[in-house]
């Protein structure tokens, strides 16, 4: 069912329609929040907050542009969350591996790769992180990314190319072996 129909139904109080929108866009919203914040827990919190805000303001968007409107809410919430965290000067706790893992060597290698990838993603611009996560992790087309981020399809392609190049430079051979190079 098209977004516009789901938005219209949600405006009439159809909870199932809004739930369908949440299922459709949660991963994209999470990717945008993660690109902005860098940590999974913070991204999840921001996504939940953004969907609550979207439901409260479901009368606001152009039904045909729901995805772009929602992702803008996510970006704004992430920006506000980051500002709040800076004020508090709270530092995230390091993730601790669970005891009794079946393959500690592989888990350590994956943890190291994840840390390196997160660090490399952190060095990209926010728009580059959003484009690479939406395209490579979520499978969005450049046209969809452009619409959602308010950039052209060509700029989406340009940001993806630049992001991949930067990731290859920062991760070296790992980028080709583990992350992929399309």
Same domain, 28 and 83: yes
pLDDT on residue 31: 92
Give the global pTM.
Answer: 0.57
Which residue from 39, 41, 38, 26 is spatially nearest to 74, judged by alpha carbons? 26
Same domain, 127 and 155: yes
**127 and 149 Cβ atoms separated by less than 8 Å:** yes
Which residue reads 């290698």 in tokens? 109
- What is the CATH classification number for the domain harbouring 8? 1.10.1740.10
- The token duo for 31 is 């990717």
Assigned token pair, 144? 């969809």
Q: What is the pLDDT of residue 44?
A: 93
pLDDT of 173 reads 52
61 falls within a domain: yes
Let me know: does 65 contact 6? Beta carbons within 8 Å.
no
Pairwise CA distance, residues 15 & 32, whole Å = 24
Domain boundary among 29, 57, 88: 88
Taking the C-alpha atoms of residue 102 and residue 119, their distance in angstroms, rounded to an integer, is 26
Say if residue 153 is in the same domain as residue 119.
Answer: yes
Q: How does DSSP classify residue 172?
A: T
Q: pLDDT 10s digit of each residue in the chain, 182 long?
A: 899 999 999 999 999 999 999 999 999 999 999 988 988 999 999 999 999 999 999 999 898 899 999 999 999 999 888 877 765 554 444 444 444 456 666 766 777 777 878 888 888 888 998 898 888 888 888 888 988 888 998 899 999 989 888 888 888 754 444 444 44
Q: Are residues 124 and 48 in the same domain?
A: no
Number of separate domains in the chain: 2
Separation of CA 9 from chain center: 26
In terms of domains, do 81 and 133 share one?
A: no
């Amino acid at each position: 069912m098209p977004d516009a129909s789901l938005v219209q139904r949600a405006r009439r109080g159809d909870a199932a329609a809004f739930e369908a929108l949440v299922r459709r866009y949660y991963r994209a919203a999470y990717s945008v929040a993660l690109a902005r914040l860098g940590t999974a827990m913070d991204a999840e919190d921001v996504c939940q907050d953004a969907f609550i805000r979207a439901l409260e303001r479901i009368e606001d968007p152009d039904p045909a542009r729901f995805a772009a409107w929602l992702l803008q809410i996510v970006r704004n919430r992430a920006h506000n969350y980051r500002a709040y965290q800076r004020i508090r000067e709270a530092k995230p706790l390091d993730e601790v591996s669970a005891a009794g893992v079946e393959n500690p060597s592989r888990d350590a290698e994956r943890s190291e790769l994840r840390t390196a990838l997160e660090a490399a993603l952190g060095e990209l611009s926010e728009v580059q992180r959003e484009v690479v996560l939406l395209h490579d992790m979520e499978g969005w087309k450049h046209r969809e990314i452009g619409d959602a981020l308010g950039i052209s399809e060509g700029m989406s392609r340009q940001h993806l190319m630049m992001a991949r190049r930067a990731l290859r430079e920062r991760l070296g051979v790992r980028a080709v072996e583990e992350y992929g190079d399309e």
